Amino acid sequence: MRVAIAGAGAVGRSIAAELIEKSHQVMLIERDAAQMDTQQVEAAEWVHADACELGSLEEAGLERCDVVVAATGDDKVNLVVSLLAKTEFAVRRVAARVNDPHNEWLFTEAWGVDVAVSTPRMLAAVVEEAVSVGDLVRLMTLRRGQASLIEVTLPEDTPLAGLPVRHLDLPTDAALVTILRDGRVIVPQADDPMEGGDELLFVAAIDVEPDLRAALDR
């Protein structure tokens, strides 16, 4: 696969290195000469250019890329690059880094973004997951924001202990995908009983989350 990464800072370079290790072709586009440390990722094609300039992207042949990753530390740049990649070069998949969570709402298909990755939000979710018991924790948003991977840790004294999975009156557009218990990954069958301390993983549409929460309280 051919991947173009805008921004050759620490994030861009580490993405590049990982992709190269998996035998993909990587192009790193960086505007700042001082950041053009080509030795750090020798196997990548380095392009010294402003990724927001249509001319530069044309020269770099962006239309030949399967994926574009907007990985700079500037949300504005990431938005403009994503939009250009999608609308001018018809790149199949565009991933963008979100630096400031306040801007997250912009990173949608309207700006050409297929996948938005917000580090602060992911970190917060991971912390939340570690500390909250009994609450729904949204770990990840999938498929362009229409569904999420949600985790719930059942308290030790949960009223659901001993009850079978089919007891859960789940809304449509929600699925119980896995139960994590004592280091085991259990694919739940309708008759399997739940236990206190179980971590339940659901994939659910965002708008049915309140119904999911209600189902777990019954």
Positions in the binding site for other proteins (CB under 8 A): 50, 52-55, 74, 76-77, 79-80, 83-84, 87-88, 102-103, 105-106, 110
CB of 123 to other proteins, least distance (A): 22
Q: Which lies closer to other proteins via its Cβ, residue 11 or residue 83?
A: 83
Nearest-approach distance from CB 144 to other proteins, in angstroms: 17
Compare residues 40 and 103 and give the one whose CB is closer to other proteins. Answer: 103
- Pure H helices in 61-133: 75-87, 119-131
The backbone region for 120, taken as left when phi is positive above 0, alpha when psi lies in -120 to 50, beta otherwise, is: alpha
The CB-of-121 to other proteins minimum distance in angstroms stands at: 17
Distance in angstroms (rounded) separating the CA atoms of residues 30 and 4 = 11
Which pairing describes strands 93-98 and 115-118: parallel, antiparallel, or unpaired?
Answer: parallel
Residues 23 and 86 sit within 8 Å (Cβ to Cβ): no
- 190 close to 164: Cβ distance less than 8 angstroms: yes
Across the strands, what pairs with 47?
29
CB of 54 to other proteins, least distance (A): 4
Shortest distance, position 48 Cβ to other proteins, whole Å: 15
Residue 74 or 128: the one with the smaller Cβ distance to other proteins is 74
Q: Which is nearer to other proteins, 68 or 174 (CB)?
A: 68
d(CA 191, CA 84): 51
Spatial distance between the Cα atoms of 80 and 52, rounded to a whole number of angstroms: 6
Nearer to other proteins, 18 or 59 (CB): 59
